[in-house]
Amino acid sequence: MTHHIAFLGTGIMGAPMTANLIKAGFKAAVWNRTRSKTDPLAEQGARVAGDPGDCVKGADYILSILDSGPVVREVFFDSGAADVMKRGAVFIDMASIPPKMAQEHAAWLKERGVGHLDAPVSGGSLGAAEGSLAIMAGGARADFDRTERDGVWKPMGRASYIGPAGSGQIAKLANQIMVACNIASVAQGLLFAGAGGADPAQIPVALAGGHADSRVLQEHGRRMIKRDFRPGAPIRNFVKDLDTVLATAKEIGLPQLPIVRAVRDVFKELYDAGHQQWDHSAFLLYLEKLNAPARLGDKADTPPA
């Protein structure tokens, strides 16, 4: 049986995720606010919808990876798209939004006979292209298991069931805490190595397999060494997510996360300086400003297009 999917939000992440689903045999309808971003998917056989409601009609699975919680609410609920979803369909929200908002959306869709999984991802644009994303899902276990049986997760990456509605978002926020602090430590370590006379390009090689190794070191550390700051994950999204971390932490009885707050403040300074669309490996730029004239390598910066 061929399952029909709708995918809304075909940007840096959504476009390759949708392409992988089409390659796996799913029939797809797509929608994006900037219509031109759907053109490559149309060439692969996707139907381009004129609006969110048109996109979701008749779909067995509705997937989206939009900018923020308010955008998800606008596109699906304020527009009326949620009201035309097929009863028995499952909405898979892969955006990073506040856990409470995910719980509200799940409750609203349940009233309409539609399943809901909050399933944010980690792995950036490279993971989206490779189909190797880490997917963290919260919601009804039956909806998760059905989605797995129908093969929806596999073209995008590896999905894990975390718990009830909102749990996927909690896991993603934990992920963002760890990634943010790791980005900060990698930037400091590489700048330190270069200033001390070591070849920074050899640090990821030398540390591979050791306790300091990580995907952040191997992927984003190399971005820093190459000074390639085209976004896999833009700073504006990281500021949003770390603000959500701090707000959620306060709600659950953790008002003091000092390292997270310090890293968030650095990203906010970079955001305010005009680096909203730069990859979060641009944390390096803040350190270089503090330690001028120290600089990692002699390559010119590659900014976002």
CATH 3.40.50.720 domain residues, the chain: 4-163
Catalytic residue among 37, 100, 110, 172: 172
Q: What is the mean pLDDT of the chain?
A: 96
Phi and psi dihedrals of 267, rounded to 5? -60, -35
Q: Is 289 a catalytic residue?
A: no
CB neighbours of residue 57 within 10 Å: 17
Evaluate whether 213 touches 145 at the Cβ level (below 8 Å): no
Q: Which residues pair with 121 in a beta bridge?
A: 135
CATH 1.10.1040.10 domain residues, the chain: 170-290
Burial class, 113, CB count within 10 angstroms (exposed 0-12 / middle 13-18 / buried 19+): exposed
Q: Does the domain at residues 4-163 carry the CATH identifier 3.40.50.720?
A: yes
pLDDT tens-digit map of 127-172 = 999 999 999 999 999 999 999 999 999 999 999 999 999 999 999 9
Evaluate whether 139 touches 99 at the Cβ level (below 8 Å): no
When pLDDT is cut at 50, 70 and 90, the band that residue 124 belongs to is: confident
Average pLDDT value for residue range 197-211: 97
The percentage of the chain sitting over the pLDDT mark of 70, rounded to a whole number, equals 100
DSSP assignments along 82-95, one per residue: GGGSPTT-EEEE-S
Tokens for 176?
């963002």
pTM: 0.92
- How high is the pLDDT of residue 24? 96
Round to whole Å and give the CA distance between 265 and 61: 38
Average pLDDT value for residue range 195-209: 97
Q: What is 170-290's CATH number, 3.40.190.10, 1.10.1040.10, 3.50.50.60, 3.30.230.70?
A: 1.10.1040.10
When pLDDT is cut at 50, 70 and 90, the band that residue 1 belongs to is: low
pLDDT at 245 over 80: yes
